[in-house]
Amino acid sequence: MDNETLLNQVTNKAKAWLEGSYNEETKNEVRAMLNNEDKSQLIDAFYKDLEFGTGGLRGIMGAGSNRMNIYTVGAATQGLSNYLLEEFADLEQIKVVIGHDCRNNSRMFANISADIFSANGIKVYLFEDLRPTPEVSYAIRKLGCQSGIMITASHNPKEYNGYKAYWDDGAQVLGPHDKNIIAEVNRVSSIDDIKFEGNKDLIEIIGSDLDKAFIKEVESFVLAPESIANQHDLKIVYTPIHGTGIKIIPDTLRKIGFTNIIDVPEQNVISGNFPTVVSPNPEEPAALDLAIKKAIETDADIVLATDPDADRIGAAIRDDNGEFFLLNGNQIMLVLTYYLITQRKAKGLLTGKEYVVKTIVTTELIKDIADKNGVEMFDCYTGFKWIAQIIRNNEGKKKYIGGGEESFGFLASDFVRDKDSVSACTLFAEIAAWAKDNGKTVYQVLQDIYIEYGFSKEVNISLVRKGKDGADEIEAMMKNFRTNPVKELAGSPVVLSKDFAKLESYDFNTNEVVTLEMPTTSNVLQYFTEDGTKVSIRPSGTEPKIKFYIEVRGSKVSSAEEIAKNEAEVDVKVSAIKKYFGL
């Protein structure tokens, strides 16, 4: 589509908003975009409709079909209502849960959604105040609901908000339901089709009782209560980064036995403007600066952090010199998975039916740990809905003991069906207590993993490309990679490639093409080299970026001293790979 055609299309679409039953605030914002000589904002606001991706509906807040506002949220809720009424027509009362985080407009979007569901005759359980995403997932199953939504944009910048839709198992919506819901949303051709006038009799406020039940579940899978009792005064600095974690994580840590939780007062302030950080993302080192400063001041053992909706965990630990450093998402998952498997094995809790899950872009060391200990491992796409699908498929047949992804998400038990920083934080604190009880630090536990299973270094790089032009550029990049396949990385030949858009794997040694068994296609490319390097390339489903996931395996190490030397050698390969891709 040429620029003139696109501009005419979005202009007509925007003008329709001036003629519809939209409020004056929205119309004034649309007029301003139409009158602006620079049409880039207009194009980005109207060139498409928000769609469900790996994390649901997510976008910048403002007027427009490609923006998060009361009308796009309203259309999504009306479409979801229509689908629920059709899918569960045999039920006397359809029920949903609604939660929200700390973001600007989150409570408003939650209230509007509650009104729309109730106006459609659907019973609504609305949390009294902000709550973590995993608690919403838990509440859906606990209260016997058919669906639920969480208003959040997770770790995105303050301009964003989002809408996660869940199904009756507490997991984010998968196919065919996701596409069917979108079809219903698309049938909402006018905002006059949206039932904004709620039925207050169908809206029930929930809160502390669910908190207590949730915390009790977390208590139930503690593996080393004696270590927590012995090290109850372990110094734990925790920051919610202005978000929902403050509502439940400190209480959960205390409930399982920890008595020395140190807060970061500046970041306990609940605010959608995230005043102390540029990005409220525990993946970003700067987001933990204040927490690490507090940890140094108080001589703390570990630092824990969560993102605004408290589904992702960040962690900092001390090295052998006593200096704090941040673990990446792969390292957090390594430590958590290693502990869950080895502790269960030590306690005789492994029966041969246990399994763990990781995403395809997460470190392959997870598979090595699982294989060596007789635990099955499943690979899945990025996004916790895929992990939840594996849990659902194995329910009653196999025992899930943990799973996660490199993007700082982990789920330690299947009572929740989304990533859960509440249980992940308590598990990480338990590991720190267990390690200290055994004369070690978490850092030394990580070194033990590298010595037993081999050293690996992971580097993730994202190229941000915003707007319509950015989306086109990312599409062109993926097309180029497919047209000109990678044959060598850092001096090591590619021996295997996987194209999940075609569901094909190509073996360079045998020239064989094998079909990849995955639930659907995904726009992901992977390259595996002779020396164990893995590179994955994936456009984000929720953000305007393309991601490169680099994992380089080192040589075998037999001591902690050899790890540093090994890392230096690996860094040379990482630099070569980054240079190859222009990163």
Q: Which residues contact 326 (CB under 8 A, 6 or more apart)?
A: 285, 288, 314, 315, 316
Residue 356 CA neighbour count, 13 Å, CB half = 34
Tokens representing 314 are 């960040």
Q: One-letter amino acid identity for 142?
A: K
Residue 168 CA neighbour count, 13 Å, CB half = 9
Tokens representing 76 are 């999504």
Helical pair 70-87 and 177-187, crossing angle rounded to 10 deg: 120
DSSP string, 356-418: EEEETTS-THHHHHHHHTT-EEEEE-SSHHHHHHHHHHHTTTSEEEEEEETTTEEESSTTSSS
d(CA 34, CA 418): 40
- Alpha helices for 454-501 (secondary structure H): 467-483
3-state helix, strand, coil in the chain (%, to 5): 45, 20, 35
SS (H, E, C) 34-96: HHCCCCHHHHHHHCCCCCCECCEEEEEECCCCCCECHHHHHHHHHHHHHHHHHHCCCCCCCEE
- Return the number of other C-beta atoms located less than 10 Å from residue 190's C-beta: 10
Q: Which residues contact 190 (CB under 8 A, 6 or more apart)?
A: 20, 21
Tokens representing 7 are 């501009």
- Alpha helices for 493-559 (secondary structure H): none
Answer yes or no: 189 catalytic. no
d(CA 303, CA 512): 48
Q: Report the run of H or E that residue 336 belongs to, with start and end.
A: helix 329-346
- Return the number of other C-beta atoms located less than 10 Å from residue 89's C-beta: 8
d(CA 266, CA 287): 12
d(CA 205, CA 134): 18
- Alpha helices for 188-328 (secondary structure H): 208-220, 225-230, 249-255, 265-268, 289-298
CB contact at 8 A, 367 and 358: yes
Tokens representing 286 are 């700067």
From the candidates 81, 147, 154, 407, which is the catalytic residue?
154
Q: Would you name the residues annotated as active-site residues?
A: 154
